[in-house]
Structure 1
Amino acid sequence: MRIQPLILVLAVLGLAGCANDPAPHEQMRLSEQALEQAKAVGATDQVPEMKLAEDKFARAKSNLATEDYRDARMRAEQAELDARLAEARVLTEKSEEQLDLLESRVKRLRKQLEAQP
């Protein structure tokens, strides 16, 4: 019955391996890149999702510094998603503004065409 102690040892080693999360350097890089992209299209702290992204990224940095890698990864992932949402919101608003402008131009052209004899 030596198999049972072996299984127990393997289970303990497996759980110990799960407890040590690696530092999320790649996720931090992705999150920072998403924040920069959002800023590049015009997202500022006035966009609620951008403020959330920046706050979560700051907490992720703090978690990374204290070697709380699990929380750092989670916060960094959330920051990336919030930044991408902020970018999408800004791009949507810009598209809607362009659409409104084009619609007003079309209306003005129609009025001009109707006025011609």
Structure 2
Amino acid sequence: MINRFSCAATVLLGLTGCASDPAPTEQLRLTEQALAQARAVGADEQIAELVMAEAKLRQAQSAMQRDAFKDARVLAEQAELDARLAEARVLTQKSQDQLNELNSRISRLRQQLGAL
């Protein structure tokens, strides 16, 4: 009896260990959305993180075709983070440009007021 139980438990644990990861379709969708959002704010091929994100997304899609779902999920997550970083870099640069422009206007106004 104990021997049968032991064998059944071993088989059950073995089958559980062989269970495959589910396809990361939702993660791929989120990654594609993050890439689209990064492009929408102005990220282009000059932003290294965007290039890396696109490459990792292609690798994730390739892993999906090979049914390597765990690899696909990891690559898709990395691609999403790279895309979000690219977006943040673009938005930071735009904010810095706006700040520089405002500081320039303030300086001109001060000069004009000083001349009066």
Give the aligned CA root-mean-square deviation in angstroms. Answer: 1.1
Deviations 1:58-102 (Å, cap 9, x if unpaired)?
A: 111111112111111111111100000000000000000000000
Matches within 5 A, 1:60-75: 60-75=60-75
Give the superposition deviation at 1:8.
1.7
State how far apart, in whole Å, the 1-side matches of 2:70 and 2:43 are.
28
Matches within 5 A, 1:72-83: 72-83=72-83
Identical aligned pairs, as a percentage?
A: 54
Residue 107 of structure 1 corresponds to: 107
Residue 6 of structure 2 corresponds to: 4
Q: Which amino acid aligns with 2:13?
A: A
Q: Which amino acid aligns with 1:70?
A: K
Residue 48 of structure 1 corresponds to: 48
5+ residue gaps, structure 1: none
Residue 30 of structure 1 corresponds to: 30
Residue 16 of structure 1 corresponds to: 18
State how far apart, in whole Å, the 2-side matches of 1:103 and 1:42 are.
23
Give the superposition deviation at 1:5.
2.7
State how far apart, in whole Å, the 2-side matches of 1:4 and 1:37 are.
53
State how far apart, in whole Å, the 2-side matches of 1:65 and 1:32 are.
17
State how far apart, in whole Å, the 2-side matches of 1:61 and 1:14 are.
26
The normalised TM-score by structure 1 is: 0.92
5+ residue gaps, structure 2: none
The normalised TM-score by structure 2 is: 0.92
